[in-house]
Amino acid sequence: MDLRTRFTAETKTSMLAGDAARTSTLRMIVAKMKDSDIAARSSSPPGPPLDDAALVTMLRGMAKSRRESVDMYRQGNRPELAAKEEAEIAVIEAFLPQQMDETAMAAAIQAAITATSAATIKDMGRVMAALRTEHAATLDMAKAGPMVKAALGG
């Protein structure tokens, strides 16, 4: 089942269950998805609606911005707002593929280094591009960067 279908089904289920917080978050996701589709259509040349890979990227961005908000709310002594954001993060992350653990990331990085014949820190861009191509959905690129740099002796 693709993500668009899951969003629709989950929204209906949460509405029937009377889960207002989950329904609100799902509606926010659908609104963001529609905005992105409209932006893609209005670009030159017009593009197709977002595919699942682009939707995953969109969801990751939404989760990241909420994590930043949680930090700000905690610093501002607003635990009730931080809790709301954390609940939204939980709903968003339910649609994301399972992330690689540290061991799997290290193995993927080593495989990418071997595949690209990377030897120095100057080859980091090629390694990161290979990782993005192979593991974009399951690899946290923010964590991968420092690990690639360390593996290349940087």
Query: Which among 114, 119, 109 has a CA at the least distance from the CA of 153?
Result: 119
Share of the chain above pLDDT 70, in %: 99
pLDDT of residue 16: 96
Q: Which two tokens stand for residue 141?
A: 């690129």
Q: Which band of pLDDT confidence, cut at 50, 70 and 90, is reported for residue 34?
A: very high
Given a cut of 80, whether residue 44 has pLDDT beyond it is: no
Which of 14, 34, 36 has its CA nearest to residue 25?
14
Q: Which residue, among 102, 109, 96, 114, has the nearest Cα to 135 in the 3D structure?
A: 109
**What is the C-alpha to C-alpha distance for residues 154 and 143, in angstroms, rounded to an integer?**
15
Look up residue 91 and give its two tokens: 């709903």
Residue 1 has what pLDDT?
73
Residue ranges covered by each domain of the chain: 3-93, 102-151
**Region 3-93: CATH code:** 1.10.1510.10
d(CA 140, CA 147): 11
Residue 150 has pLDDT above 70, yes or no: yes
Q: What's the average model confidence in pLDDT over 108-118?
A: 90
